Amino acid sequence: MEEEKLSMADITRWIEDSKRRSDEVWAQLKENAAQIAKTDAQMKKTDIRIAEMTKNVCGISDSNGLFAEEFFFNTLSEKKEFAGIHFDEVEDDVRGKQKQPDGKRLRDQFDILMTNAASVAIVEVKYRARKDDVETLAVRKVENFKTLFPEYKGFKIYLGLAALAFEKDVVNEARKYGVGLLQQVGETIESANDWEVSAY
């Protein structure tokens, strides 16, 4: 087999061609880097807009929740009645915390607490109540209350869920746990259940 001999002109052409291709690749890499930088800048702007929008949506949601809490608190403070029981005191935003034997801290917050000499009503307020809100109240929150407020040991504890709107299945879940439902009707509130509210 004969070796192909390259002339100096062929080598020069090959070097120039390689240099041209190398320059094209570098130019493309620079263009890609510039495009990536531009995309990064656009993504940062988008992230800022999303954060602002999230803040606004959360603000609206918080405002709705505060409206609901204030409405139900004011109405229950005036009526002082829940589940057919008269209460002497009505408090809002009741918080408790306690160090547990395992070293962990138990903390909880209760939207509305109604008390008399023998009973306590815990009313959780939601703008829009969901099925799992009922179970959370009847399982976790009532037990947390008993732990955080031992001074109410021996009291009958009644549970209520107040909301401006209820998702489907809330009524069935509330009936299952014996939780009372309260809803806004015009300027006042009404019981939304046809079952007896259970004492815990």
- Report pLDDT digits (tens) over 104-119: 999 999 999 999 999 9
State how far the Cα of 194 lies from the Cα of 38, in Å rounded to an integer.
Answer: 62
Position 156 in a domain? yes
Domain that holds residue 145: 8-200
Give the pLDDT mean for 184-190: 73
Assess contact for 138 and 150: CB atoms under 8 A: no
Q: What pLDDT is attached to residue 56?
A: 53
Average pLDDT, the chain: 86
Position 106 in a domain? yes
Q: What pLDDT is attached to residue 134?
A: 97
Identify the residue with better confidence: 187 or 128. 128
pLDDT reading at 21 higher than 90: no
119-129, strands of its sheet edge to edge: 89-99, 105-115, 119-129, 156-166, 180-185, 188-191
Q: What pLDDT is attached to residue 39?
A: 76
Position 77 in a domain? yes
Q: How far is CA 99 from CA 96, 130, 187, in A?
A: 11, 30, 42
- Report pLDDT digits (tens) over 34-67: 788 887 777 777 667 766 666 655 555 555 657 7
Q: What pLDDT is attached to residue 46?
A: 67
pTM above 0.85, yes or no: no
Position 44 in a domain? yes
State how far the Cα of 64 lies from the Cα of 52, in Å rounded to an integer.
Answer: 18
Which residue is listed with tokens 């009372």? 180
| Report for 13-22, 97-106, 121-130: range of highest mean pLDDT | 121-130
Q: What pLDDT is attached to residue 100?
A: 87
Position 48 in a domain? yes
Q: How far is CA 157 from CA 40, 100, 112, 115, in A?
A: 56, 22, 13, 9
CATH number (domain holding residue 159): 3.40.1350.10
Q: Considering its fold, how many domains does the chain have in total?
A: 1
Identify the residue with better confidence: 21 or 131. 131
Lowest mean pLDDT among 7-16, 47-56, 167-176: 47-56
Position 161 in a domain? yes
Position 31 in a domain? yes
Q: What pLDDT is attached to residue 137?
A: 97
Position 50 in a domain? yes
Q: What pLDDT is attached to residue 64?
A: 60
| Report for 4-8, 26-30, 53-57, 178-182: range of highest mean pLDDT | 178-182
